[in-house]
Chains A and B, each alone.
Chain A
Amino acid sequence: MKIQVKAFATFREVMDSQIDMDLPKDATVRTLLTELTGKYERLGELIFAAPGMLRDFVNILKNGRNVHYLAGLDTLLDEGDIIALFPPVAGG
């Protein structure tokens, strides 16, 4: 299945700002991040505190809803999903 990933703010410094991914049918957010960190070497250390443990402040929105409120890394993905990845921008 095809999904679209959009990266924002400093994540754009380690990956493409937009990328289409082809994932297996039962893919989860974890599957997606494994694919992405394989493709973009510097992304892993930016988003994972330890293997398989996402840093708290990493925001992943599945069609606009933060996966924190869904099943986190185990959130199932669907054909046509738009996934947004961004760190909090906090300054003022």
Chain B
Amino acid sequence: MISQSSNERFLRQIPLIGMDGQEKLANARVLIAGAGGLGSAIATYLAIAGVGYIRIVDEDTVEESNLNRQILYHEQDIGSCKVVAAQRTIRAFNHDTEVDAVCRHIDETTVHDLVRGIVLILDGTDNFAVRYILNKAAIDEKIPFIHGAVNGFYGQVTTIIPGVTPCLRCIVPNPPTWEKNLIIGVTCGVIGSIEATEAIKYLTGSGVLLKNRLLFWDGLRGDADSIEIVCSPNCIDCCASVIEQDVYE
């Protein structure tokens, strides 16, 4: 339910998404996997848009080197558990947003608990091993998964709807070899904001989702481009759901 004070808060956006859309945001339960640069931007924009419940998961503590991009944290948070500091900031943005702060590693044994009761998963992780785990859980539980990733001034986003769109493994079958990613905060801001935009559109039924398209952001050239992406019938993660979709068609 939207509180009385919220009507004033959302005065400028309710005409865009409708009172019904605002109620949908208030009733939505989303998972933000990773409370880093992307997670910070996603959580900020979803909380101030009025999303009612955010489960945010990360096992790390805040380090000084995070502060060039992880806008949920302040200098006094260095050394603190990220999700606890994140919860404090998010609640300060919007006290009506319930924040479930989970300090836990995301792996095959924890992921199904983490997505329980969730209607949408947002990718704020920093590696493909965890992304593949989320991708598989999204397929298994039929929960939409908004993928985003950043490197330097570059970023990418797509909205994965299990059984309808290609999954992450269709697009990127092999993880990159490990490398320390270079990153500047503005790129996290752009990509996290696009992920949050996708979430708001999905939750309120607005606009056209980034389905079956992979959007690339190139901050160095001020250029965005998207390419069509299609399911791979022999993808090891989603082939079953694609076949199921073919049967329905």
A residues lining the B interface (CB < 8 Å): 6, 8-10, 12, 17, 56-57, 59, 61, 63-66, 68-69, 82, 84, 86-92
Contacts and interface: CB of A to CB of B under 8 A. Distances in A.
A61 B227 contact: yes
Given A9-B151, A9-B154, A57-B176, A91 B183 contact: yes
Given A89-B149, A90-B128, 9 more contacts: A57-B176, A66-B170, A68-B174, A69-B233, A87-B176, A90-B175, A90-B179, A91-B182, A92-B37
Nearest to A57: B176
Interface residues of B, number: 48
Interface of B: 34, 36-39, 123-128, 148-152, 154-156, 166, 170-177, 179, 181-183, 188, 212, 216, 218, 220-221, 223, 225, 227-230, 232-235
A30 B243 CA distance: 30
B223 A66 contact: no
Contacts of B181: 90-91
Contacts of A69: 170, 173, 232-235
A4 to B, nearest CB: 11
Contact of A92 (B123, B179, B228, B234): B123
Given A12-B218, A57-B177, A69-B234, A90 B149 contact: yes
A89 B230 contact: no
A56 B175 CA distance: 8
B229 A88 contact: no
A8 B183 contact: no
Nearest to B170: A66
B57 to A, nearest CB: 12
